[in-house]
Chain A
Amino acid sequence: MLMTLIRRELLDNLMTFRFAAAVFITLLLVVANTVVLLKDYEQRLTAYNTATQESYQKLREERVYSRYAMDLIVHRPPNPLSIFNLGLDKQVGNEIAVYHAFVPTIWDAVKHGADNPFLNLFTSIDIVLVFQGVLSLLALIFAYDALAGERERGTLRLVLTHPIQRGHILLAKYISAMLCLLVPLLISLLLSIILLTTSTTISLHADDFLRIGGIVLTSLLYVSLFYLIGLCISAMTRRTSTALMLCMFVWGVLVLVYPNLILTAVDIVPQPNTQISAYHQIKQMWEELNREKKLFLRNDTVLGPLSRNGEDWGFRLKGGEYSFLRDEDKPSTLLYFYQSGFYAGKIKAESEPHVPLVQNYYGFHNREIVSTVNRTWLVRKPALEAIYVQPANLGQMLLKFSPVGLYDAATEAWAGTDLEGIQDFFSTVQRYRRAVVDYFYDKKIFESRQWFAADEGTADWDALPQFAFHRSDTDINAKRALPDMLLLLTMNVILFTVIMLIFIKSEV
């Protein structure tokens, strides 16, 4: 009996104009957007490759170790799954310097390749966004007359005269509508995957297909939720036109109004004032370091003070060619550091007695810098969390009161373009920085002659630890996406139960 019902519903749905229109619109939008997104991805990949190449070469042109401050730069590759959900992938910086004087974070990264700031005025669109808008609308369009329509036409009474459980009727309607909605979803995804695989620049691993599967599953839950919302409205109203009207208003509120309303409202919540105090604290630590440095430079008594004014460029070495400065003072991201160095091509014989002293100084000073950075990080990390991450999480959480927010968060997690996915990259960079510093300690490079002078052997960049970044494993993506998917599932179950109760109790 259930099969008969499903077949009838399926035929009813498949032969309608709305079904044809739905498939057409979804296909059109998804294909058009995939082409654009693919092009965009290719551009970003080219920019990434060029930038990586350039940094590699530039580093090898340097002859002393201290110059790595300028040129040891790592890049974040674009995520191929950003085509499905762009998330933060394109927005936040993708180029970051590795240096022992600061701990790299998202907020210190800059962008390579980006050149026209005005283009930021356009919002980017991705496949999930198309599904978010169109599929939810379609689900509601399929659902609004499922019960109210039958009631209006009187067929519901007819069906109920047969010995069928009411639950079966609901189930049949649900299954057939979901099958119909699957058609545009799967066909459009298939087309976009075909487009992806024919592109030569993009390479998808087996893991990526698992992630895409996760995205499809989430989309299914999302569509089903909207179908059930429509069904619920349809069960509660007597007339189809009222049901349709209500459905559209609910759609407008959930998809269009609520996300923007809540995020605008979050903006006016006053920010915690940790920024200024944390910044001053960090600055003080650095000033303390500076005082110690000056004391060290003035108090060297073996050959007289190394530097009379306490500055550490030039010293009293003959043969120094130029000095340079690497510093950053950015209160908005709590970044503060200051380090100068100098380059000596060939140190004259008369200054030779000074060289061990300078080496000694650099060994001492760099160790101090590393320990200062570790101390500032204890202040900086929680402050950055409070300034940037917490408001973002608050917004994200409030968004989840609408299925749109849940869907977006879950698919972002699958694609690895959410905040955590991006943070993965930056924690890899942080580990890499640690490895570089450890390497410098091990090989005693901080106190080596090659730190500043290029006359007795130059820096060996190939021996430096290499940077490599791999996206997180699929199970980690799944772990991040699961809570939101479970929430979606729970909402589905609750709504279904509610509809069942309403439908069983309702009089025909």
Chain B
Amino acid sequence: MWHITKREIYDNLNSLRFALTTVLLLALMLTNAIVHLREHPNRVEKYNKAVTAYQNRLASYANESLYLLAQQGPGDLHKKPSPLHFCAEGGDSFLSGTVNAGDPFGYSEDMTGVWKLSYPSVTPNLENVRPDAIKLDWGFIIGYVLSLVALLFTFDIISGERERGTLRLMLANAIPRHTVLIGKFLGALISVSIPFMLSVLMNLLVISTASNLHLNAEAWGRLGIIFFISILYMSLFLVLGLLVSTRVRQSAVSLVVLLLVWVTLVVFMPNTLASMTGEFSPSMLSGEFWKRYRQLHQELDEKYEDRVWTDESDTKTLTARSEYFAKHAALDERLNEDRLSLQIDQFRHARSIIRVSPVTIVQHLLESFAGTGFERHLQFVENTQRYALQFREFIVDADRADPESLHLIGVREGMSEKPVSPKSVPKFEDTLNLNEDFNTTAMELLLLVLFVMVLMSAAYLAFVRVEV
């Protein structure tokens, strides 16, 4: 078997396609690295500035009074940019980098409610009049270019030998057919891996030499997983090439078939299916949302109208006010969350359908492990929700510690107005969880492995039964 593999590799190393692949992948990977070097420091700087602003705001309110902190909330919470942004851009420009935890409603200084969570959306393409492009990340290079290259390396792997008549020669020896198949597969795998690894190495070398970009141990671990996934994805297309090459007599026809399959599978299926399901599945229109918003708020307001809007400031009014403010914020938050989850469901639905295409599987996997994209955004949203709970608990606890306070959150007269130490206020820190990434991607990882296995056995069956 090793002989077959070795021969295959030597054959490939001298070929034109090997040289072209190396040049192409190197050019792409180097561009990717340079773009990352140029853009990533800006991203990090922007994030750091935003975090400093957030902490300063928090500290200034804490130094003022606990009441102000309870009213104004923590402010904008920011998503931490991933150091592995170059692996998968993941449409990050379409996902908001912030969740707003602040912005209390207010009529006057005394009648100001408490903060709430809201999820702003971004629409960068409203202002953008540039031609559309896919970002040149690893997801693109692996998903599109590497898969095409894998097909170009395998389309004549069996049919070529058959055309030249060497297959008959080889099978005349006492080698089991599966050994031939595996040997050929390994040969192709190694020959495609060489330019790929070379370009990845160059890419990482350029990125890691920059002093202002630091990849920690976890990031390297994630890169390892990403590399493993790309090899798996690559072997999927190698096996596909092997299968078609076994079934088809002429190598030219085999390439034509493979290319047409590739175009449908990789380029069109994801987009067409996504827009199909995206269009057809229901969603809440903004008009309906605002109608419901107004209606529920009107109901709430009517319930509290006569108890809240008085000039008295006895305990009863204050209690009613505190209750009203809390309910108002909770209602806002619930509506925002409902809307967000509807949007997420619609998007998820569309996304689960397009999993029939391996390229979307691999891009989702890369996104998840690079810490960008949609799943990451959901993790970020969850983090902010957890933090919001923590922050509310802190306010209640800190208020309880003050004996003079009436423990009515959100009302000036009913709450502790002492300053609190900024250090004791919980700070939001956006984190990435590798375990969670594995959980969310397990399904997709399994699908990818299944794809490879099914194609592999199909190729085996086809090759065993083929007549030479």
Contacts and interface: CB of A to CB of B under 8 A. Distances in A.
Interface in B278-310: 278-280, 283-286
A115 B24 contact: no
Contacts of A32: 272
Interface stretch (B3-11, B198-206, B259-267, B387-395): B259-267
Interface in B141-189: 144-145, 148, 152, 156, 160
Interface in B23-66: 24, 27-28, 31, 34-35, 38-39
B138 to A, nearest CB: 13
Contacts of A134: 263
At the interface, is chain A mostly helix, strand, loop or mixed?
Answer: helix
A231 B363 CA distance: 35
Q: Which 4 A-B pairs have the closest CB atoms?
A: A263-B133, A117-B121, A118-B347, A264-B136
A261 B350 contact: no
Interface in A91-129: 91-93, 106-107, 109-111, 113-125
16 contacts: A17-B253, A18-B253, A36-B279, A113-B285, A114-B123, A115-B286, A121-B95, A242-B16, A252-B145, A260-B136, A261-B28, A264-B35, A264-B136, A399-B131, A419-B129, A422-B129
Contact of B279 (A40, A137, A263, A264): A40
A124 B126 contact: no
Contacts of A18: 253, 256
Contact of B133 (A28, A246, A264, A268): A264
Nearest to B37: A268
A121 B94 contact: yes
Interface residues of A, number: 75
A286 B12 CA distance: 69
Given A116-B283, A249-B20, 11 more contacts: A17-B256, A110-B126, A116-B346, A117-B123, A120-B123, A137-B260, A242-B16, A244-B252, A248-B152, A261-B31, A268-B34
Most buried by B among A118, A265, A332: A118
B136 A268 contact: no
Contact of B343 (A25, A111, A116): A116
A145 B131 contact: no
B134 A260 contact: yes
Interface in A216-264: 240-242, 244-246, 248-249, 252-253, 256-257, 259-261, 263-264
Interface in B229-258: 251-253, 255-257
A119 B95 CA distance: 10
Contacts of B284: 115
B264 A25 contact: yes
A265 B28 CA distance: 11
A392 B279 contact: no
A124 B91 CA distance: 14
B274 interface: yes
B113 to A, nearest CB: 21
Given A32-B272, A119-B350, A257 B129 contact: no
A394 to B, nearest CB: 9
A10 B39 CA distance: 53
A290 to B, nearest CB: 25
B271 interface: yes
Given A21-B257, A119-B278, A111 B126 contact: yes
Contacts of A133: 263, 267-268
B259 A137 contact: yes
Given A18-B256, A122-B350, A117 B122 contact: yes
Contacts of A332: 127
B468 interface: no
A134 B269 CA distance: 13
A456 to B, nearest CB: 33
B423 interface: no
A43 interface: yes
A124 B136 CA distance: 18
Contact of B374 (A118, A144, A399, A405): A118
Given A25-B260, A32-B272, A257-B24, A115 B283 contact: yes
A265 B35 contact: yes
A92 B126 CA distance: 4
B227 interface: no
B28 A119 contact: no
A442 B176 CA distance: 95
Contacts of A263: 130-131, 133
Contacts of B347: 116, 118-119, 121
A346 interface: no
B386 interface: no
Most buried by A among B34, B260, B283: B260
B125 interface: yes
Nearest to B248: A17
Interface of A: 17-18, 21-22, 25, 28-29, 32-33, 36, 39-40, 43, 88, 91-93, 106-107, 109-111, 113-125, 130, 133-134, 137, 141, 144-145, 240-242, 244-246, 248-249, 252-253, 256-257, 259-261, 263-265, 267-268, 332-333, 388-389, 391-392, 395-396, 399, 405, 408, 419, 422
B301 to A, nearest CB: 18
A494 B271 CA distance: 36
B11 to A, nearest CB: 12
B39 A125 contact: no
Nearest to A423: B129
A223 to B, nearest CB: 15
Contacts of B128: 91, 388
A392 B130 contact: yes
A408 to B, nearest CB: 7
A151 to B, nearest CB: 15
A117 B129 contact: no
B334 interface: no
B344 interface: yes
Contacts of A241: 156, 160, 251-252
B275 interface: yes
Contact of B129 (A25, A29, A106, A145): A106
B120 to A, nearest CB: 9
B129 A88 contact: yes
B275 A124 contact: yes
Contact of B271 (A21, A125, A259): A125
Contact of A145 (B121, B252, B283): B252
Contacts of B252: 144-145, 240-241, 244
B132 interface: yes
Contacts of B214: none
A187 B51 CA distance: 58
A189 B260 CA distance: 19
A144 B20 CA distance: 18
Contacts of A144: 252
B346 A43 contact: no
Given A36-B275, A141-B256, A260-B140, A392 B129 contact: yes
B263 A268 contact: no
A387 to B, nearest CB: 9
Nearest to A388: B129
B203 to A, nearest CB: 14
A124 B271 contact: yes
A39 B130 contact: no
B188 to A, nearest CB: 15
Nearest to B94: A120
Contacts of B34: 268
Interface string B437-462: 00000000000000000000000000
